[in-house]
Structure 1
Amino acid sequence: SDAIIIVEAATKGGALITAEYANNYHREVFAVPGHLNQTFSQGCNKLIRENKAQIYTKPEDVIEALNWDQPVSKTAPTDKTALALEFTEEESQILALFRQKPDWHIDELSWRTQIHLGKLASLLLNLEFRGMVRTLPGKKYRSSPKQFDCQFLVNRTTTC
């Protein structure tokens, strides 16, 4: 599955183990926040607090996170090579790192690319607008499945 939603979980148990496996396989994890004093809300609250799950309050949370809400255009090209995206040298450098591993913290990206945090945040936002990366809780970023549908060319133009 692309995502899991944990509705209730104690601080130990199968739901948290499932969430751990989902995170290890780079799947989206959502948790329903609950009352602080309820035993079966403590696990969900812990996942959210530790940035191991996104807050789930409505179905749109999942739809948005998985990019399911983007309607398919009837005139959209069916051939993956029909769509070309151009990236700056710095954007290409960032995307190359995401091809090595799907999840990165912004500090780690800054260190690896030697791009100042302010500029890097702007570049990541631009890549997110283009559907190449997604923002996660805790200043982390995840490569979008769209990135792996694209083939990067030497001249920094990408065909998808």
Structure 2
Amino acid sequence: MDLVQALQKTIDENIPLSGALGARVASYDGQLLTIDLPLPPNVNHKNTAFGGSLYCAAVLSAWGLLYIKLLEVCEDGVIVIFDGQIHYHKPVTREFVSVCEISDQLAWDKFVKIYRRMGKARLKINSDVFCEGGLCASFNGEFVVQKE
């Protein structure tokens, strides 16, 4: 099973909301994780995506990337969001994607080192939501991972 399939299976089995959102792991290229979402299950009264759905999509791609990156370094643990903020730039009017990548390699290396030594670590992760190629929302979050 590749990393995309492993993540999709984990999301399907452990995050029921992802099914209601229609979230599908589209791709992972070693750096960038992309999750596709349809508009219909996420629509609001204005026929645009509900802000809460966009927040969930952004958190899901950040959480998912952290999950995959931990698998790549042969680690696992309980991943939880500690803090998160989102900025909505423009309405989402069609299917949309949430994308995430670890842009600070030094921060990632420090995170892994602390996690292996302490069994718990924090990492700040950003993700973005796009619709028709345009940036619609930006998420900044902090995640905590702890050994089970």
Q: TM-score, normalised by structure 2?
A: 0.30
Name the one with the larger helix percent: 1
The structure whose Rg is larger is 1
Q: TM-score, normalised by structure 1?
A: 0.29
Which has the bigger relative contact order, CA under 8 A and spacing at least 6?
Answer: 2
Name the one with the larger strand percent: 2
